[in-house]
Amino acid sequence: MYDQSCSLPILEDAVITLAHGSGGKQTQKLINEVFLSAFRNRHLELMHDGAELVLPSNRVVFTTDSFIVQPVFFPGGDIGKLAVTGTMNDLAMCGALPLYLSCGFIIEEGFSRKDLAAIVNSMQLEAQANGVEFVAGDTKVIERQTGKNLFINTSGIGVKMVDRPINPRQICPGDAIVLSGDIGRHGMAVMAAREGLQFAAPFMSDCASLVPLVQALLHKSIDVRCLRDLTRGGLATALVEIAEASEMDLEIDEGAIAICESVSSVAEVLGIDPMYVANEGRFIAFVPKSDAEEALCSLRQCGMDGASVIGYVGIQTTDPKVLLKNGFGVQRRLYRLSGDQLPRIC
């Protein structure tokens, strides 16, 4: 059991085995060949229990997210890209510039090593493009079920880009609600991939870093009060959460919400409301009405042509409501999603 002949060449394993999670020789080899070879930096090279960091400021934001999306590759991305953008985006939503990430892998025995390497490389590409480093990691292996499961946790540290707080409590009556682009792509792309649906006009997940967009908004004189990305539960859930946290009514104009034709079609086929579908590269910003035009310009300059003002903040109330007005002037109240519409989309 304790290998004493290290001189023989070891054939590259095609799939992950329980031994890769033992903490011994095979774990070490996997770390070197897959994780270190992609993420290599001075912190990881120390191979210590944690990363020693000297931060540029002591005002930090800390967040965590686990990813279980199935399939792990989907049009427009993969679980690795998602795990990096998801956590960076959470930091950006608090007005922080992401600096350091950790990654915890739970891999199913039988998972393809080639796929794992592709996912890890995709993580590094996305991190590098955003000036972020992986400084801590962990690998565990669980027994085989389907051989298709990979779970990734990413936690992140960022430093605040502005001194003022950015959260639901800063929202004021009359604030404009700016949506950064069309909704529903991520959830529908994953569902279409899972169900093997084919479309005349295929579409891709919106999975992307929101860091440059938030940087652009914060570098202008726009008084951003609150930011929220539209992940699990979609736009509707994000609005309800913010209405509750700010204790404000929100009045939304349904016609101002962009949804692309292909997403509408798939949603109709699957009987799903795109308002509740997860996005991984879309957010809403709450800004003073007078700053709304500049916010839109700023987003459009970053390539977000579909950005729009979708509504306004109403009055402060103890029973905060999200009211959606359609083209005929009819209002309906939006609630949180009840039950499970789309499992394992992030």
41 closest CA partner among 169, 134, 110: 134
Nearer to its own copies, 200 or 271 (CB): 271
Nearer to its own copies, 53 or 315 (CB): 53
Strand 248-253 and strand 150-160: the pairing is unpaired
Asked if 258 and 182 count as a contact pair (C-beta separation under 8 A), the reply is yes
Closest CB 304 distance from its own copies, rounded Å: 19
Nearer to its own copies, 241 or 293 (CB): 241
CA distances from 321 to 106, 242, 313 (A): 40, 10, 10
Closest CB 227 distance from its own copies, rounded Å: 8
Closest CB 202 distance from its own copies, rounded Å: 26
Nearer to its own copies, 91 or 192 (CB): 91
Nearer to its own copies, 32 or 301 (CB): 32
d(CA 185, CA 120) in angstroms, rounded, equals 23
d(CA 246, CA 325) in angstroms, rounded, equals 21
d(CA 88, CA 99) in angstroms, rounded, equals 9
Asked if 95 and 224 count as a contact pair (C-beta separation under 8 A), the reply is yes
Closest CB 293 distance from its own copies, rounded Å: 26
102 three-state secondary structure: strand
Closest CB 178 distance from its own copies, rounded Å: 17
Nearer to its own copies, 106 or 297 (CB): 106
| CA count, 13 A, side-chain hemisphere, 339 | 2
Closest CB 149 distance from its own copies, rounded Å: 8
Closest CB 114 distance from its own copies, rounded Å: 21
Asked if 76 and 207 count as a contact pair (C-beta separation under 8 A), the reply is yes
Asked if 123 and 77 count as a contact pair (C-beta separation under 8 A), the reply is no
| Location of structure tokens 């510039």 | 97
Q: What is the DSSP letter of 232?
A: T
Nearer to its own copies, 141 or 176 (CB): 141
